[in-house]
Amino acid sequence: MNKKPFVIFGLVLVLLVVVIPFWAFHRDGDVADNEGVPPENTPGKQLFQTNCGNCHTLYAAGTDGDYGPNLDQKLSPAGAPTDKTAIEGIKTQVMTALEEGADSPDVPGRMPAGIVTGTVAEEIANFVAHYAGEG
């Protein structure tokens, strides 16, 4: 008997059952998008408190640092963002600040680049992007 159809069927099965779900699951990286998640349930909140809270006030994280700018006012003065474009915009601004540091001429003090990097930076930026302006 010819086994070829079974081999092909087996391969298709592996593709459907293993490869596609794996791809779908990992497509967005391992960082949750926080959609509909209360701030206290996101890993970003604690990471923010630990790494950013000494210098920055952010209502959603309950921090009141005042060395750097108040991030509610700085990033989303009109209240927490509601659409994806605004959220992505804030996330990019935070990632840029973390990657490049910040040293505006009109702001006292500066923020060094690379306080956090990689997944930790992404989690924090994700958290900030969803909840900045909530206070």
Report the interface residues with ligand HEC, using CB under 6 A. Answer: 51-52, 54-56, 67-69, 71, 74, 93-94, 97-98, 102-104, 107, 109-111, 115-116, 124, 128
Tokens of 95: 């990632």
Please report how close the Cβ of residue 95 comes to ligand HEC at its closest, in angstroms: 9
Cβ neighbour number for residue 107 with a 10 Å cutoff: 12
CB of 25 vs ligand HEC, minimal distance in Å: 27
Among 127, 59, 50, smallest CA distance to 94 is for 127
Distance in angstroms (rounded) separating the CA atoms of residues 97 and 93? 6
Give CA–CA dist 9/23, Å, rounded.
20
| 87/128 with CB nearer ligand HEC | 128
Cβ of residue 14: shortest distance to ligand HEC, in angstroms? 41
Nearer to ligand HEC, 32 or 55 (CB): 55
- Distance, in Å, from the CA atom of 46 to the CA atom of 31, rounded to the nearest integer, reads 15
Report the nearest approach of ligand HEC to the CB of residue 8 (Å). Answer: 51
